[in-house]
Structure 1
Amino acid sequence: MRKVLNVIALLLLIMVPLLTACGGTSTDSGTSSPGNDSGTDSSGSDSGTKKHKIGILAPAVTHGWVAAVAYNAEARAKELSNDIDYQIQTSSNAEEMTSQLDDLMTWGAEAIVAFPQWEGMEVPIQKALDAGIKVVNFDIVIDAKGVYRVSGDNEDMGIQGAKYIVDKIGKEGNVVMLEVPTSGSVSELRKKGFVDTMKEIAPDMKIETYATKFTREDGLKDFADILTSTPKIDAVYSMDDETSIGVLQAIDEAGRTDIKVVTGGGGMQEYFKMMPENENIWIESALYSPAMVKDAVDVALKLLNGESVEEVKVIPTTIVDRDNYKDFLDDNSPY
């Protein structure tokens, strides 16, 4: 009998730890990925707080600056991964962006950072706002009630461009202005700042306006045509660094020596490096960094946390040319 009891006791000693292991729970060690509302921190433990869901809408990459916007937005979202889950979507037109906005609403986005580069986004963004979603527009002004915005000072870029040209060539001369009507308020505001300031400080300046796009290919093609029909140009008011690279190529290929100033806008590293290479032309850029979109992501998170933020946050303009370009070189920049 004693032998039987000893065997039973031995079996119980073996079975207790086995039962404990079978009935226990395990903890996942992975981190939360975009779209996963797991509420775990980077160590895999339960953080006890629910992450906010933020959607990011950006145009598809057709331009280096636009590519850098998406890059910087996602970089900031990753930096905030302990506080937010995010999805980033890129689109080629207003219809596609509208569809993606609907997808983000279905996903449960509490805030959306949008770069609505095309006309026609007013209605879908207003729909999101009416549904209680916080919307922070990057760069673009649209007619929607309740939208927040982070942007550079587009009008001041035009103001500074006019002042720069007058400083370099004087109050009289022939200026070609390259506007980009397809960019909406961006071009409108830069044009307004430039034209209004020229009327004020150099009313005798002759300005001819042509339409182009924010690409070096269009800058090259369009300005090559302008050069053949315009025998005397003193300065070019270009609104974008990519366009300006095409303009400079057209000037070089045509062998023109009359042009003394080419402006730009954006903050492109390649363009900065061209500034000291041509001593005959003052190459200028009104800094309009795509990294500003990080501020838009921050504003979205602050709104979801109940913090008070400005309805419009405007980043001041900085002028870059051969005198200070070294201060803005960044080998890690994607633009």
Structure 2
Amino acid sequence: MKKVLSIILALALICVSFAACGGETASTSSASEESSTASETSESSAEESSETTAGELKKIGILAPAVTHGWVAGVAYNAEQRCKELSDQVEYKLFTSNNAEEMTSQLDDLKSWGAEAIVAFPQWEGMEVPIQQAIDDGIVVVNFDIEIAADGVYRVSGDNESMGIEGAKYIVDKIGTTGTVVVLDVPTSGSVAELRKKGFTETMKEIAPDMEILEYATKFTREDGLADFADILTSVDHIDAVYSMDDETSIGVLQAISEANRTDIKVVTGGGGCQEYFKMMPENQDIWIESSLYSPLMVKDAVDMALAVLNGEEVEPVKIIPTTVVDRDNCADYIDPENTVY
């Protein structure tokens, strides 16, 4: 009987021992599961936090023409630089195009990407409809430089008409109220040349009504400036001043004057902000070389405007940046040795 009791007692102790071990294993498994759940929750929170941060970035698209001119290159460059400077606030995509059809296609790509705002430099006719459609779809559109007929579009631009006004005043200041002035118009540039010519011709009528004005068409490139002005020089015996609307056109004009050995021309105007052109100003003492500053740096203001609108700030729909005249007297203030783009 004692043996039976001993065996029963031993078995009972073994069962208690196993029960204790089993309870400890279950407890460890439960802790492990809780740790795993906490880890997953932490990772999930981190992912949600990351997604939230990414979601706070405003999506801004940049549409610029392909580089056909140093100034245009400066526009695309400075727009991208500003977006990079705002990398903690902005996610961006930049497209360059060769015509209105290509830019329209790229605008559609930006819509698909989810662009909330688009900074566009619509250099060609035919962009009114696609830009209006983008605005109607709820996308903020800030046009740079070009004025087009679209309801609700924002715009940042230099003062094109003022550039013409300042060009007329500068020429009269240097040669007086009489003489022969060649105006190099650029009809393909739309409102840009229209406004510059308007400012020039209206001001010249007011301050020098007896000035002889000869108009010729060219383009905003130094090659066209050289070729077209070389032809003009063969047909016009005496010219006192040249109203050119663009720095690179003017570089071509100055080359044509030099190659033709003409000494009658006393003033060549320009427009833009080309470093090479600035450096020519003090080097040529026989001709007053002038530029109405119209810097591609202005596109940074367009990016800032797009971001401000997306952030709910009150913004004037049009921002016009005043004209500054640069010539040999102050060009040192505008020469930037680090600027290798334009």
TM-score normalized by the length of structure 2: 0.87
Of structures 1 and 2, the larger Rg is shown by: 2
> Matched residue of 1:177: which SS?
strand
Structure 2 counterpart of 1:219: 225
The code of the aligned residue for 2:210 comes to: D
- How far apart, CA to CA, are the structure 2 residues paired with 1:318 and 1:252? 27
| Paired residues for 1:89-104 under 5 Å | 89-104=95-110
- How far apart, CA to CA, are the structure 2 residues paired with 1:214 and 1:27? 56
1:310 to 284, 300, 316: 316
1:277 to 274, 279, 283: 283
- How far apart, CA to CA, are the structure 1 residues paired with 2:279 and 2:30? 74
How far apart are residue 264 of structure 1 and its match?
0.3
Q: Is residue 120 of structure 1 aligned with residue 126 of structure 2?
A: yes
Higher helix share: 2
How far apart are residue 78 of structure 1 and its match?
1.1
Segment of structure 1 superposing worse, 74-83 or 170-179: 74-83
Change in Cα spacing, 1:99 to 1:45, as seen in structure 2 (3 Å) is: closer
Contact preservation (8 Å) 1:122, 1:142: yes
Report Cα offsets for 1:70-110 as digits up to 9, x if no partner.
Answer: 01101111111211211111100001001111111111111
| Paired residues for 1:295-306 under 5 Å | 295-306=301-312
- How far apart, CA to CA, are the structure 2 residues paired with 1:72 and 1:39? 33
- How far apart, CA to CA, are the structure 2 residues paired with 1:39 and 1:183? 48
Report Cα offsets for 1:111-130 as digits up to 9, x if no partner.
Answer: 11100000111111111111
> Matched residue of 1:62: which SS?
coil
Structure 2 counterpart of 1:134: 140
How far apart are residue 9 of structure 1 and its match?
7.5
Q: Gaps spanning 5+ residues in structure 2: where?
A: 1-13
Contact preservation (8 Å) 1:260, 1:281: yes
> Matched residue of 2:328: which SS?
coil
Report Cα offsets for 1:38-94 as digits up to 9, x if no partner.
Answer: 997xxx795385222111100001100000100110111111121121111110000
Change in Cα spacing, 1:48 to 1:106, as seen in structure 2 (3 Å) is: closer
> Matched residue of 1:175: which SS?
strand
Structure 1 counterpart of 2:65: 59
Report Cα offsets for 1:112-171 as digits up to 9, x if no partner.
Answer: 110000011111111111111111000001011111100000000000000000000000
> Matched residue of 2:210: which SS?
coil
The code of the aligned residue for 1:259 comes to: I
How far apart are residue 24 of structure 1 and its match?
3.5
Percent of aligned pairs sharing the same letter: 70
The code of the aligned residue for 1:281 comes to: I
Change in Cα spacing, 1:39 to 1:304, as seen in structure 2 (3 Å) is: farther
Structure 1 counterpart of 2:3: none
Contact preservation (8 Å) 1:266, 1:287: yes
Structure 2 counterpart of 1:33: none
1:24 to 36, 39, 59: 39
Segment of structure 1 superposing worse, 242-251 or 103-112: 103-112
- How far apart, CA to CA, are the structure 2 residues paired with 1:233 and 1:14? 96
| Paired residues for 1:67-82 under 5 Å | 67-82=73-88
Contact preservation (8 Å) 1:77, 1:86: yes
Contact preservation (8 Å) 1:53, 1:109: yes
- How far apart, CA to CA, are the structure 2 residues paired with 1:67 and 1:199? 35
Contact preservation (8 Å) 1:76, 1:297: yes
- How far apart, CA to CA, are the structure 1 residues paired with 2:43 and 2:276? 49
Q: Is residue 332 of structure 1 aligned with residue 335 of structure 2?
A: no
Change in Cα spacing, 1:49 to 1:87, as seen in structure 2 (3 Å) is: closer
- How far apart, CA to CA, are the structure 2 residues paired with 1:271 and 1:48? 43
Change in Cα spacing, 1:22 to 1:221, as seen in structure 2 (3 Å) is: farther
- How far apart, CA to CA, are the structure 2 residues paired with 1:324 and 1:51? 41
2:173 to 167, 171, 190: 167
- How far apart, CA to CA, are the structure 1 residues paired with 2:108 and 2:29? 57
Q: Is residue 180 of structure 1 aligned with residue 195 of structure 2?
A: no
The code of the aligned residue for 1:24 comes to: S
TM-score normalized by the length of structure 1: 0.89
- How far apart, CA to CA, are the structure 1 residues paired with 2:85 and 2:239? 47
Change in Cα spacing, 1:49 to 1:95, as seen in structure 2 (3 Å) is: closer
The code of the aligned residue for 1:260 comes to: K
> Matched residue of 1:89: which SS?
strand
Q: Runs ≥4 in structure 1, deviation > 6 angstroms? A: 12-19
- How far apart, CA to CA, are the structure 2 residues paired with 1:172 and 1:278? 23
Structure 2 counterpart of 1:204: 210
> Matched residue of 1:237: which SS?
strand
Report the number of matched residues. Answer: 323
- How far apart, CA to CA, are the structure 1 residues paired with 2:275 and 2:234? 30
Change in Cα spacing, 1:130 to 1:273, as seen in structure 2 (3 Å) is: same
> Matched residue of 1:117: which SS?
coil
Change in Cα spacing, 1:149 to 1:251, as seen in structure 2 (3 Å) is: same
Report Cα offsets for 1:2-37 as digits up to 9, x if no partner.
Answer: 89x99x979x98997899579835879xxxxxxxxx
